[in-house]
């Protein structure tokens, strides 16, 4: 959708100029911002430090939208994979909102609302298997107990992690 326009005096001539919806930096200095089609300011218009806490990491396996993920060293290269409570060392570091193919670039969110999940019930959520959650704390020896947040609706969770504990 084209941004709204405003009239500006350019070299002595009244000129219609479109408001900026995304910024590429200095090239957009002194321009008037416009809301996106979603009714919000694009993150590119925000200063560093304001916006979601994310990192772009290469996926070492396919990730489903909403999956809890683990960042790990794959021969010295940062990779992201499904978090899994059945394997020590695969604790949840964050989540993805969009599905990512193996070798694709995953945007990992480290906190906030994960609204790409389904079937949640109210209450505390724990890491389960293959990037998912459970409302029941694991008790099996060798499994990882990690609280990963709270369900805020059937399709949304507030992701906040606690340190993982491997059960004896």
pLDDT at position 1 is: 57
- pLDDT > 90 fraction of the chain, expressed in percent and rounded: 73
Q: How many residues does the chain have?
A: 168
Q: How far apart are CA 109 and CA 106, in angstroms?
A: 9
Q: How much is the pLDDT for 4?
A: 84
Q: What is the C-alpha to C-alpha distance for residues 70 and 39, in angstroms, rounded to an integer? A: 32
Encoding tokens for residue 153?
A: 């609706």
pLDDT digits 0-9 by tens, 105-137: 999 999 999 999 999 999 999 999 999 999 999
Tell me the three state secondary structure of residue 27.
helix
Q: Show me where the domains of the chain are located.
A: 5-45, 54-166
pLDDT value at position 139?
Answer: 95
Q: Classify burial at 163, counting beta carbons within 10 Å of its beta carbon; exposed 0-12, middle 13-18, buried 19 or more.
A: exposed
Q: State the pTM of this model.
A: 0.80
């Amino acid at each position: 959708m084209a941004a709204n326009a405003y009239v500006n005096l350019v070299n002595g001539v009244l000129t219609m100029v479109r408001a900026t919806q995304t910024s590429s930096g200095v090239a957009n200095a002194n321009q008037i911002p416009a809301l996106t089609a979603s009714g919000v300011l694009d993150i590119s218009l925000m200063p560093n430090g304001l916006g979601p806490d994310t990192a772009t990491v290469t996926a070492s396996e396919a990730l489903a939208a909403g999956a809890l993920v683990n960042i790990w060293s794959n021969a010295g290269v940062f990779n992201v994979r499904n978090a899994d409570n059945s394997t020590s060392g695969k604790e949840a570091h964050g989540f993805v909102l969009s599905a990512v193919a193996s070798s694709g670039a995953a945007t990992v969110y480290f906190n906030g609302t994960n609204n790409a999940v389904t079937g949640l019930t109210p209450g505390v959520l724990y890491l389960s298997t293959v990037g998912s959650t459970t409302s029941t704390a694991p008790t099996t020896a060798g499994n990882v107990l990690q609280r990963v947040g709270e369900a805020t609706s059937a399709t949304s969770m507030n992701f906040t992690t606690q340190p993982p504990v491997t059960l004896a």
